Structure 1
Amino acid sequence: MKRIVAHNQKIEIIEDEIPQIEGKPSYILVKTLYSVISPGTELTILSNSENKQVHLGYSAMGEVVECGSKITDVKKGDLVACYGAPYVHHDEYLLVPSTLYAKVPESVDPKEAALGGLGAIAIHALRIANLQFGETAVIVGLGVLGQLIAKIAHAAAYNVIAYDLHKSRVDMLQGESIKAYSTVEEMEEAIRIETKSRGADAVLLCAGGKRSPLTQECLKWIRNKGKAVIVGDVEPDFPRELMFAKEAELLISRAGGPGRYDHVYEKEAIDYPYEYVRWTEGRNVEEYIRLVKERRVDVQPFITEVIEFNQAPQEFEKLFNKESTTLTKLICFK
């Protein structure tokens, strides 16, 4: 099979063996149809690939071609959304544990389903924020992840205020009646009006860049005892004086939910008890699929750019050299 890797800050397509399901009763073998490029994460990996070969990708969908003996919820021929490296990459075939996929119904566009991993990350970020119905969430940074968080928060009837310095990204949300702004001044005025000068309940930082000036500023936008949630690749460099004065909570949202990086949950495919861990990363993927199926969120704007598998090196190069500002691209394996 073919797979896409980063090597010496270049993208290569290599040949590898198709993974075998033998001896893995709780796994499925998937023929990939679409995988999603996540520019923020993958360009960072590409930048750090000097003298080593690194696999790329973590969100995809495809058709089940073989099931382990313990698999009962899907069968050969079903479509599934899959999430999580090292099981999900830009590979022709994926060997995925039962805890990291969700069945895709016929009414869901396969390209929408490919965003399942990103959807799980967005959903988990909002769960970490632990907002109540009607509270105000400020989303800072409107890449594909920030866009998804804003849309899902809006669907949940939170009072959403979004910001990005790129007006084109702001315009994508304003078309859905979400309050979005391309200047900090406009955003701050919206927070003042919407909260009667009390401040937002939470700010979710989805902006890229290790040292963002907005990290210092965001505590000014939350209420006393409000929350700052780090979602993007941001250093938690917050001014102590403001944190102390407001008794602010600093929270980290780690990937798609409970289970991520847990050897037992992922590799051994042993799920957490439903009654004790309600929303695992796998169940968050399922929830994303439900939201799309019921048209609670519109992800069509994110799936307009589909590239052929063999075009991937050139497309990554455009992203790496900042010749493309697209939110995401889908790789087609058909």
Structure 2
Amino acid sequence: MKRIVAHNKKVEIIEDQMPTLDGKPSYVLIKTMYSAISPGTELSLLAASENKQFHLGYSAMGEVVECGSDITDVKKGDLVACYGAPYVHHDEYLLVPKTLYAKVPDSVDPKEAALCGLGAIAIHALRIANLQFGETAVIVGLGVLGQLIAKIANAAAYNVIAYDLSKSRVDMLKEEKITSFSSVEDMEEAIHLETNGQGADAVLLCTGGKRSPLTHECLKWIRTKGKAVIVGDIEPDFPRDLMFAKEAELRISRAGGPGRYDKVYEKEAIDYPYEYVRWTEGRNVYEYIRLLKEKRVDVRPFIKDIVDFEEAPLEFEKLFEKESATLTKLIRYQ
């Protein structure tokens, strides 16, 4: 089979061995239909690939072609959404444990389902923010992840205020009547007015760039005992005096939820007890699919740019060289 890798700061298509279900009763073999490029994560890997080879991708969907003996919730021919490296990459075939996929209903567009990894990450970020009904969430950084968080928060009836330097990204949310700004001053005024001067309950930082002045600024936007949630690739450089004055909480949102990077949950496909860990990364994937099924969120603006598998290296190059400002691209498999 073919797979996409980063090697020496170039993206290549290589031939690799076809995965098999041998000795893996709790896995399914999937023929990939679509996978989603996550520019932030994957371009970072590309930049770090000097004298190294990294497999790219972590969010996809496809058709089940074979099931392990312990699989009971899907069958051959079903469509599933799946998330999480090293099981999900930009590969023609994927071998995925039962804890990392969700069945895709007939009513859900397969292209939308391919964003399931990003959807799970967005959902987990909001869970980490631990907001209650009616509270105010400020979303800073409107790449595809920030956009998804804003849309899902809006669907949950939180009071959403969003910000990005890019007016075009801001306008994408304005089309859904989500309060959003490309000016910090305008955003600050909205926070003041909509919270009666108290401040937002949480700020979710979805930007990149490691060290960012936003880690200082966001503490001015939250209420006393409010929360700053790091979602993007930012160093947690928060001044003690501002945190002390607000008794602010700093929270880190890691990937798609509990289970990520746990070999027992992922590799061995042993789920956490439902009554003790309500929302795992796999259950967050299911929740994203439910939101699509019930038309709670509209992700169609993110799936307009579709490239064939063989053309993907060129598209990565455009993203890496900043010749493309797209939020994400879908890779289509034959």
- The two structures have a TM-score, normalised by structure 1, of 1.00
What corresponds to 2:312 in structure 1? 312
Separation (CA, whole Å) in 2 of partners of 1:215 and 1:194 = 22
Map of 1:103 onto structure 2: 103
Residue identity matched to 1:319: L
Return the offset for 1:98.
Answer: 0.2
Equivalent residue, structure 2, for 1:195? 195
Moved over 3 A (4+): none
Is 1:86 matched with 2:92? no
Please give the secondary structure, in 2, of the residue aligned with 1:107.
coil
Give the corresponding residue for 2:60.
60
The total of aligned residue pairs comes to 334
Deviations 1:266-285 (A, max 9, x none): 00000000000000000000
Q: 1:1-334 counterparts in 2 under 5 A?
A: 1-334=1-334
- After TM superposition, give the deviation of residue 313 of structure 1 in Å: 0.8
Aligned counterparts of 1:146 and 1:28: Cα–Cα separation in 2: 31
- The superposition leaves residues 34-64 of structure 1 with CA deviations (integer Å, 9 ceiling, x where unpaired) of 0000000000000000001100000000000
* Residues in 1 aligned to 2:126 and 2:115: alpha-carbon distance in whole angstroms: 17
What percentage of residue pairs aligned between the two structures are identical? Answer: 82
| 1:22 CA drift (Å) | 1.2
SS, match of residue 168 in structure 1 = helix
Structure 1: state its 5+ residue gaps: none
Letter in 2 for 1:278: R
What is the alpha-carbon distance in structure 1 between the residues aligned to residue 52 and residue 207 of structure 2?
Answer: 28
Distance 1:52 1:135 in 2: 45
Distance 1:94 1:223 in 2: 45
Q: Residues of 2 paired with 1:133 and 1:175: CA distance?
A: 23
How many Å separate the matches in 1 of 2:20 and 2:117?
23
Q: Secondary structure at the match of 2:264?
A: helix
TM-score by length of structure 2 reads 1.00
